Structure 1
Amino acid sequence: MSGPFQQFPLDGGSTADLYLLRYDKDGGLRSPVAEQEIKDRLAGVGDVFLFSHGWNNIFAQALDRYRSFISGFIAQRQQFGVPVPPDYRPLLIGVIWPSTSFVMPWEAGPNIAADPDPDGAQARQVEEMLGLVTESLDAAADPEFVELVDGRSTIDSDAALRAAEIVLDALRAGPDPDDGWPPPTAKELLTVWAALDGAESAAPPVDPDDFGVAGGTSPGLLVAGGGGFDPRSLLRTATVWKMKARAGEVGNNGVGPLVAHILRESGVQLHLVGHSFGAKVLLSALASAAPNRPARSMLLLQAAVNRWCFAADVAGTGRPGGYHAVPESVERPLLTTFSAFDDPLTKFFHLAMRGSQLGEPGVAAIGDPELYGALGGFGPGGVEGISARRPAAVPGAERYDLGGGLRVIAVDGGVEIDGKPAITGHGEVSNPATWWAMHALVRPD
């Protein structure tokens, strides 16, 4: 799509123009005319804001989230008189990437103990997940896997072990690129699978904005009424792996070249804002761009990446996190939010992303949040000395101190502001607290 998709009015009669760039699942650009227009306009702007949405966002949902954040950010600046850089001429870019057919392992899953699904929505979700997983299987594995799991609510341990072997081979054969953890063995995956099947109690209801899914069920509602394994839990876990990998591909192959062009061929200040797996899109983009100058700022909102991703030494293993160099590619300290009220990232992400126990000292838990936990759930690990944790600042009343040599500031969205948590759930990331964090990074003072 060419030309700005929408214009947001600013003071003095100027506008902030929003362009949308669509990418395919491999990061291939599907909006070449719009991208060229962006490149042609760089000489006439001072600041570029690049946004990436998270998963389970169709075009309309992604656009709505971009509009909400941008409008709120502009209104808050006017409300509190936040200064802007000299000759402030912003250009806005929203990434649209294919993230619609995905649900987390604990979301929107069939509650087989409840009444039958009246409109077939849950059945369609399972069908979508099956198609998503099997598109990664080779010709020999596909029919075997389908016969093992298709249409079943429970399979025996031998069938479950074979299904686990197939999906591991196709979707998680090597170390995780974010943190280097080796993949679990098939038997270790079964322990996670059983935990997702057999949780004893339901989690709180899912926020309708969490990953764009209305309603949902927790692992406690996935119990198959006895022995065996529910293959739907495996499908849900595999979709998490697939989405995480896809976010990296979109960042590396699609958004990365644009970031490289902006930082190499122009003098604009680049600001990066990513939510959930959209954070991985932008982290991968900046890491792959190898720019000759840093981006101005980066704000990660409830990032669905491993909390050790910035570490020079991941949990004493001697290996660096996949994005350990990114904070040095950002001029101002990288701000990343986390919240104890983000149920998906505090209760379940570490189960889906659990690695192998091989070579890991003292790991007893099935899914250890210390090792496998999400950045947006627990804050960063392994960045002592260059990081700080700060409560979410009260808009208009408090400021973030960006000095002192810090490279990463973890913003605690679990603290109360005006009687409620600053970030109440995974999808609640366009609000006064997050707009204020963005102002901290953009304002010239």
Structure 2
Amino acid sequence: MAGPFQTIPLGDGASADLYLLRYGKDGLLRSPAAEGAVEEQLAGVSDVFFFAHGWNNVFAQALDRYRNFAAGYIGQSAEFDIRHPGPGPYQPLLVGAVWPSTSFVMPWEQGPVIAGPTDPDGAASTEQEELLALATSEMDAAADRALVDAVDGRTAVDTATATELATILLRNLRATPDPDDGSAPPDVTGLLRIWAELGGGPRPEPSEAPARFGRVGSRGAGTPPDAASLMYDPRDILRIASVWQMKARAGVVGATGVAPLLESILRSDARLHLIGHSFGARVVLSALNASAAERSAHSMLLLQPAVNRWCLAPTVDGTGQPGGYHSVLGKVERPILTTFSSHDKPLTSVFHLAMRGRNLGEGQPETAAVGDWYRYGALGGYGPAGLDGQATTCEAVTPGQGHYPVGGTARVIAVKGGSKVDGEVPIPGHGGISNRFTWWALHDLTRGDLRADTTGS
């Protein structure tokens, strides 16, 4: 529809329009009338807030997230009497992207158990169908048939079949270097190792299970199984494939669909504020990275970003190349503020496994002593890397009791959301990103009365 999806009250009789723009998996805009209405309003607005949701958000969930965050931010403005610093009247415009992430709930969205339900006739079967549909959605007919034939109706596959599946998925979904950090994809052997780690290790077939796996098989107690008898849960490799799909899709949506809108906004006088959660952080980073606008965005808030922690670095360790979004540092007026949290299970336990590339070899930081999260870890799980002198790390700031160092020299401010502040964990999980701490962070980024002598370290 051409008009705003909703009008949100600001207080004192003022209001802000909220528009929702849909994008397809190819990144193309599906709401041209709504985008046209946004562009028509640009001459009369002072600020544009652009939101991009992340993993597992269908339309209703995305709308709820946007409304909840906007309402909290607006309510906090009234609570602390925060005034717009611009020379003219404050008239914000809210725009939310709705892009096809996924419609089903991943196991780590439900809790810490990565393996998921095991009932082949219940939730596990439904999940596998959804994962399979997602993994094959952009494959050619031959690859689709091979993948479906290998996993259809199975909750375990042998090593030979697992090798076939790994080969198909690598060839079709991750055949090129990762755009965030330039790392080459894993080889088949490496992917099988990742698959085993994600599922807690391959298990022997029931008829061959030794005592240490809970039963005595024909080999006798304690006898290790042959490699050929190991079984892999196909849902685990499909989960890895779905992370690849969503990461790639977020980049396409940003660079293809969102970037032209950002260019239109930046040709106006309105200040642009970008907020991205999870893979939505990759949407806004990709969009601004692709933008050819001469004017910079005013601010960028990345909430538990599902992007590589080296993506903003001038040089990625082991590659000699800049991170995929290094240029974005020069396209934002205020420092980029990003949260990371030890309580974010998918970004501290899963992301670096799913995104792990080829081993950099002996002598590199990617060793058992350091852990591959150093090289492949998520920005929202472990904070930024490779930004010496350009980044500062600080605790979350209590609203009304301090400010972030947005007036300092750092180009990136990393906020530790996993440490308690006033007895409360600011980022208690991957989805816990709309609260008084994150609203205050956005206030610090968007208003102009801040000092440099604040909480950075």
What TM-score results when the alignment is normalised by the length of structure 2?
A: 0.88
Distance 1:117 1:82, change over 3 A: farther
| Match of residue 209 from structure 2 | none
**Helix, strand or coil for the counterpart of 1:381?**
coil
In structure 2, C-alpha distance between the alignment counterparts of 1:276 and 1:85, rounded to whole Å: 30
CA deviation profile, 1:130-164 (whole Å, cap 9, x unmatched): 11112232222222222222111211111111110
Q: Does the 8 Å CA contact 2:120/2:155 hold for their aligned counterparts?
A: no
Q: Does the 8 Å CA contact 1:103/1:239 hold for their aligned counterparts?
A: no
CA deviation profile, 1:246-290 (whole Å, cap 9, x unmatched): 000100110011011111x21110000000000000000000012
Distance 1:106 1:90, change over 3 A: closer
| Match of residue 183 from structure 2 | 181
Residue correspondences, number = 418
**RMSD of the alignment, in Å?**
2.0
Q: Which is higher, the Rg of structure 1 or of structure 2? A: 2
Q: Does the 8 Å CA contact 1:105/1:352 hold for their aligned counterparts?
A: no
Q: CA deviation at 1:101?
A: 3.4
Q: CA deviation at 1:103?
A: 5.1
Q: Does the 8 Å CA contact 1:103/1:236 hold for their aligned counterparts?
A: no
In structure 2, C-alpha distance between the alignment counterparts of 1:192 and 1:99, rounded to whole Å: 23
Letter in 2 for 1:13: G
Given the alignment of the two structures, is residue 378 of structure 1 paired with residue 363 of structure 2, yes or no?
no
Structure 2: gaps of 5 or more residues: 203-212, 216-228, 450-457
**Helix, strand or coil for the counterpart of 1:315?**
coil
Given the alignment of the two structures, is residue 67 of structure 1 paired with residue 70 of structure 2, yes or no?
no
Match of 1:304 among 303, 306, 317: 306
| Match of residue 248 from structure 1 | 251
In structure 1, C-alpha distance between the alignment counterparts of 2:302 and 2:32, rounded to whole Å: 27
CA deviation profile, 1:203-225 (whole Å, cap 9, x unmatched): xxxxxxxxxxxxxxxxxxxx999
Match of 1:237 among 224, 231, 240: 240
**% identical equivalent positions:** 56
Q: Does the 8 Å CA contact 1:192/1:367 hold for their aligned counterparts?
A: no
Letter in 2 for 1:6: Q
Match of 1:271 among 270, 273, 278: 273
Structure 1: gaps of 5 or more residues: 201-222
**Helix, strand or coil for the counterpart of 2:141?**
coil
| Match of residue 76 from structure 1 | 76
Distance 1:291 1:162, change over 3 A: same
| Match of residue 100 from structure 2 | 98
In structure 2, C-alpha distance between the alignment counterparts of 1:287 and 1:360, rounded to whole Å: 34
CA deviation profile, 1:40-67 (whole Å, cap 9, x unmatched): 1100001000000111111111100001
Given the alignment of the two structures, is residue 420 of structure 1 paired with residue 421 of structure 2, yes or no?
no
Distance 1:162 1:117, change over 3 A: closer
Q: Does the 8 Å CA contact 1:197/1:224 hold for their aligned counterparts?
A: no
Distance 1:242 1:388, change over 3 A: same
| Match of residue 126 from structure 1 | 128
Match of 1:164 among 159, 163, 166: 166
What TM-score results when the alignment is normalised by the length of structure 1?
A: 0.90
Q: Does the 8 Å CA contact 1:52/1:94 hold for their aligned counterparts?
A: yes
In structure 2, C-alpha distance between the alignment counterparts of 1:171 and 1:44, rounded to whole Å: 44
Q: CA deviation at 1:316?
A: 4.1
**Helix, strand or coil for the counterpart of 1:198?**
coil
Q: Which structure is richer in relative contact order (CA contacts within 8 A, separation 6 or more)? A: 1
| Match of residue 218 from structure 1 | none
Q: Does the 8 Å CA contact 1:85/1:443 hold for their aligned counterparts?
A: yes
Letter in 1 for 2:12: G
